[in-house]
Structures are given as structure tokens and as C-alpha cells.
Amino acid sequence: MVNTQLFKSLRGVLLPAATARNHEQAPAYALSARHQLAQLAATGCLSQTFYANAESQLDAVTALAQAVEPAFVAKTAIYARQAGSMKDMPALLAATLAARDVQLLAQVFGRVVDNGKMLRGFVQIVRSGAVGRKSLGSRPKKLVQAWLLAASEKQLLNASVGNAASLADVVKMVHPKPAEAWRAAWFAWLIGKPFDEAALPPITQAFERFKRASAQGVAAEVPEVPFQMLTALDLSTAQWAQIARAGSWQMVRQNLNTFARHGVFALDGMAEAIAAKLRDPKAVAQSRVLPYQLMSAFKATGDAVPAAVRDALQDAMEAALANVPAFAGRVVVCPDVSGSMGSAVTGHRGSATSSVRCIDVAALVAAAVLRKNPQARVLPFEQSVVKLALNARDSVMTNAQALASIGGGGTNCSAPLALLNKERARVDLVILVSDNESWVDATRRGATQTMREWEVLKKSNPQARLVCIDIQPYGTTQAAERRDIMNVGGFSDAVFATVARFAEGKTGAEHWVGEIEKIDLAVQ
């Protein structure tokens, strides 16, 4: 007689068997080299995360960049910078091209190294030797020179803030030969050589005059230089208010507590002026702010920051998520609220560690989907699904904070799918937001439990699609890539756009990697 218990245990045998182990040593599926590189570029921050340190991430990226074709490295760098608004990873990928394919680097340099901070990061990575060379070389040197010789005075001043490498170091390394007198004087001023002040460009001249006036105790108009250049000076409250009015959207967002300490909000109309700047939809869009950065600002604001300004940050969040699409059909979004999601989303960076955790980002994704899809179900999970009632009419920030307040427990990525199967639920799109380090539901052999539960769900919902958004990159997933399953990484609205195309059946093989592959390297 057939052993029914034995053959019952083989249910799901036709599903793909797990090919790897995750950091919890539980079965998982290894992503392809191209997919791993794309995921690291869109979510990795070269810092210590819950399961991996900065060095292991660097080793992984450099190894993967060597394993895939240079053109895909270039496209991934462009995607990570332009769509994902990342900084360290695009600079690192560009640096690997400096050692591998300088012609291709020249083709994409301007699309990746698009400001002074990126330029300094690129130079520092190359000279560190991390990508196989310690000097720029003639072609990369020319690219850096070209940036320095084309940048405006404001761009150069912004680039001059920061070290490792400092802009002065970069100028000394590449020796740009300016044609304009103002640029020659400015480079001399930057690196501490004798310069003709009358030849300096207007903002830098104004800064020199302002320093002299401050030293003499004379009131003067604050020049439009990066505020970091002014902090060593003895500024009045009115001057700090002038800095706040003239500052960029990102600078104001990052320095609300500084303005509060210097009494800016006590001045008539300043709270309203700063709030108006923060909630301006056009300014939010131009800043390329990531939603989690707004949550970071909101969480970091002290009691001295007025409620009107805090409310403006919530309005800015709504504006930042304006491009989140409404998905057709029945949507279920499942944020991972387990213990490992309590780590900082950008990794541990000492005193610069972000207050925003992976769980906060997962909660933001869920709250944003709910805001645009009021009928969506939200199933937060750890070892099992956690019951939580949310109001779709509440702000994204309010719902995100409610979700993020759960936290703790082991990771069981199959839990929400199991619940849907138990309910015999009708679904069209399931969005799983996690670090994919599932272990509570580990299987002994064959497919992961997530794949098994998804296969059961598909029997009653044959058109359903599953999207797994990975918050931190570890190279494995609980759901193998196939026609109805997409694995994607990142925090920006570019992820939502990709999910929307996938949900509508508009993406082909390899899904997310295919989106990156579509980037045209010939576009300047």
C-alpha cells in the first residue's frame, strides 16, 4: 500500500528547490549576479547592517561588478543615481569602470557624477585602491578636470564642503587649467595659494567681505554660500533666519533643530516661511528626497520646532509619494515587522547613523500603498501576522508610525500568504516588504515555504502577482523569480513605478533587471 504520509510530504515537489541559505541558514533562492548587483546598488549603503558589515558589502559589489558585463555595471550606476537617488554605490560602480572600461566611464560619467559630492566620492574611492587602482589615470583625470572647469561658482562652493576627499585635494590631484580669470583665482583661494580677491567670483567675494565684517563685529548681509562655511562665525538670529530663507530645500529639511537652537522660529513669520518651503510640491520633487529621509527629519525634530513645521513635513511626505500609483484589483501589502527589521536602514555609521530603521521604511511603503489604494489590506508579520487596524484616510506618516511601533519576533515571510490561503482570499497583487531573512518557516528540503504558500494561493487566484521589495541587500530571496513573481530593491518612487508596470503585465523576463537593462547608454 502507498505510504500516503510520505507522498503528502512531497507536496510542492514541482516547485524550484531552494538554491542557497540566507544569513539565518534557512533555505532561500540565490539571485543572479546581475540581480544581486542591482539590489546592492539600489539599497546598499556600504555600512554595517543587521547581518552584514560594510567590508562584506564592498567585497560583494566589487566581485559582482567584475562578474557582469561592464555595460550592465554602467546602467546600474545610472539607475541607482538617477532613479534611486543613491550616492555611495553609484560612485563605487563608476570607479570600477575606471579600472575596467574607461571608454564606458567617459560615456556615463556626467549622468552618475552629477554634483560635487559625487565627484569627491568618486575620486576618494579610486584613490583608496578599493577598485584595483590607486591613481585616477589619464582619462578619469580628464573627466574630473572637465567637471571642475564647467561647474558654476555655486556648484564649486557646494562641492567645497566636506572631506575625504576634499575639493582642494581633488584640485591638487588633477591640476585643472582654467581659461577664466575668476576660476583661476577661485582655485587658488580654495587650495590656500595667493589670489587676487578682485578676480574672485561675486559670491566668494561676498563671503570674504562677510568674514571681515564678522571679525569686526559689523552687521552684514549673509552671502549665499553653503551654511557649513558660516557656522564657525558668530551669527545673529537674524542672520540665521536669512540662511534659512536662502537655503536649499534639503538644507532646510536637515537643519530644523539648528534653526530652533538659534531662535529662528521665534522671529515673526519664520515658522510659516519655512513651513511653506518644506511643503512646496515643486521643491519636494526637485530635491529628489526619499520618503524615509522625510520620516528621519520628522522623527528628529525637537520640541522647539513648531507644530506648523512638523505638519509641513507630513505634507512634504504626501508630495514625495504623489507618484505612488493606484493598483488595479485587490491589493495586499505585507510589511515585515520582525526583530531584524529594527536595524538602521542605511546601516550603522557611528554618530551619523540614521534614526530610520528598516521597519520604518517597510511601514512607509505599506502606508503609501494604502493611501493610494484605500481598499488594500495591510498584513504586518513577524512569526505570524499581527492584527492592526489602520485608517486609509490618516496621513502616511501616522499609519507608518503605527506599523513601525509593532516590532520584534522572528521572521516568517510565508505567514501572510498562509493567512490568505486559510481565508481562501481573492487577491490580485501581493506586495511583501522585508529583508528576506525568513527562518521561522524553514523547510527541510525542496522549495521554501513562501513558494509553497504562493503556489496554493495561485490555484485560487491564477492571475495574482507577487512583488518582494527588499529593504536591505543580502543576495537571496524567499520567492524565486518567474513570470508572476518580481524581486526588487530600493526606497524611491522608481520602485513603485516598476511595481505598477509589473502588476499591469508590462514587464518581461527578469522584471526589475529588465527595467535597468532598458537604460540607453547613448543618452547624454
C-alpha cell at 19: 538554491
Asked which of 8-17, 64-73, 230-239 is least confident by mean pLDDT, the reply is: 8-17
Q: Tell which residue, 158, 73, 134, has the closest CA to residue 108.
A: 73
What's the pLDDT tens digit per position in 195-204? 999 999 999 9
Most confident of 118-127, 356-365, 474-483: 118-127
Q: Please, are residues 416 and 334 in contact by the beta-carbon 8 Å criterion?
A: yes
* Mean pLDDT, rounded, for 236-243: 93
* Mean pLDDT, rounded, for 129-141: 88
Q: Is the pLDDT of residue 10 over 50?
A: no
- Between the alpha carbon of residue 190 and those of residues 115, 147, 170, 193, 277, the distances in Å are 17, 16, 11, 8, 32
3-state secondary structure 406-466: CCCCCCCCCHHHHHHHHHCCCCCEEEEEECCCCCCCCCCCCCCHHHHHHHHHHHHCCCCEE
**Domains of the chain, start order:** 16-28+325-517 (3.40.50.410), 33-199 (no CATH), 214-320 (no CATH)
Q: Is the pLDDT of residue 508 over 90?
A: no
DSSP state of 350: G
* CA 385 centroid distance within chain: 27
- Mean pLDDT for all residues in the chain: 89
Q: Tell which residue, 147, 148, 124, has the closest CA to residue 136.
A: 124
Distance between start and end Cα atoms, the chain: 70
- What is the C-alpha separation between 31 and 39, in angstroms, rounded? 9
Q: Is the pLDDT of residue 406 over 50?
A: yes
Residues 6+ apart with CB under 8 A from 352: none
Give the CA angle between residues 216, 219, 225 to the nearest 5°: 95
Of the pLDDT bands very low, low, confident and very high (cuts 50, 70, 90), residue 85 is confident
Kindly report the pTM of this predicted structure: 0.84
- What is the C-alpha separation between 414 and 418, in angstroms, rounded? 6
Residues in the chain: 524
> Which is it for the CA torsion 52, 58, 63, 65, positive or negative?
positive
- Where is pLDDT greater, at 103 or 6? 103
State the pLDDT at residue 168. 96
**Letter for the amino acid at 217?**
G
C-alpha cell at 261: 537652537
State the pLDDT at residue 251. 92
What's the pLDDT tens digit per position in 11-62? 545 799 998 888 888 999 988 999 989 888 877 666 555 556 678 778 888 9
3-state secondary structure 115-129: CHHHHHHHHHHHHCC
* CA 15 centroid distance within chain: 33
Q: Using DSSP, state whether 482 is helix, strand or coil.
A: strand
Q: Tell which residue, 56, 114, 61, has the closest CA to residue 85.
A: 114
C-alpha cell at 465: 502577482
Q: To the nearest 10°, the Cα dihedral for 354, 359, 365, 371?
A: -110
Half-sphere exposure of 315 toward its Cβ, with a 13 Å CA cutoff?
A: 16
Q: Is the pLDDT of residue 453 over 90?
A: yes
* Mean pLDDT, rounded, for 345-369: 76
